[in-house]
Copies of this chain bind each other. A is one copy, B any other.
Amino acid sequence: MSEKLAESALDQLFRTARTYNAFLPKEVGDEQLHALYELAKFGPTSANSSPMRLVFVKSAAAKEKLKPFLSDGNRAKTMAAPVTAIVATDHAFYENLPKLFPHADARSWFVGNQPLIDTTAFRNATLQGAYVIVAARALGLDCGPMSGFDNAGVDQAFFAGTTVKSNFLINIGYGDSSRDLFPRSPRLAFDEACLIA
């Protein structure tokens, strides 16, 4: 049985973690991006379907490729971020199920059922995107997730001719709390969002 993590860890993961709009001028190494995936990959998905794909946009050339599809409010901060992860979804994820879920013929649950494919892909790739956010924080990195961009344009630029579609973006780096950090917005109280039945 596990114990509750230290209060400082709960702060770092949730309570004092923030969505950053500006990052310190400090590189995020490729080895940290590997470490990030190697944690996040273990988060649970339906039938271990693991539909998330990640493009870590890091080079100047890749940033320029992304730039035209960013919304006005997200453009400057994203161009300045050390790394921008395109959290994407492989809608042919079920082709990997013979490897990922060897207990059963899970591939056959999906083939030909496009609504189930699309719902499963979206739900589970999004869960995995959240695991990436929390895993980044666990590694001492900070995030700035956003969904304000031209998905179709990003898909054409980065995923043309594939079964992969963009979901949302996460700027990743070391947050600069001295710049562009908004005050914490209120959250719904327990009784507004939850019921114990």
A residues whose Cβ falls under 8 Å from a Cβ of B: 1-6, 9-10, 12-15, 17, 19, 24, 30, 33-34, 37-44, 46, 48, 50, 52-59, 62, 65, 96, 99-103, 120, 122-123, 126-131, 133-135, 137-143, 145-147, 158, 167-168, 174-175, 182, 185-188, 190, 193-197
Contacts and interface: CB of A to CB of B under 8 A. Distances in A.
A2 B140 contact: yes
Total identical chains: 2
Given A123-B126, A133-B43, A12 B1 contact: no
Contacts of A3: 140
A52 B135 CA distance: 21
Contact of A2 (B12, B15, B40, B50): B12
A-B pairs with lowest CB-CB distance, top 10: A130-B130, A62-B197, A126-B126, A41-B187, A2-B140, A127-B130, A14-B42, A48-B185, A54-B194, A14-B39
A14 B135 contact: yes
A135 to B, nearest CB: 6
A65 B9 CA distance: 37
A128 B37 CA distance: 20
Nearest to A138: B5
Contact of A134 (B12, B43, B182): B43
A85 to B, nearest CB: 9
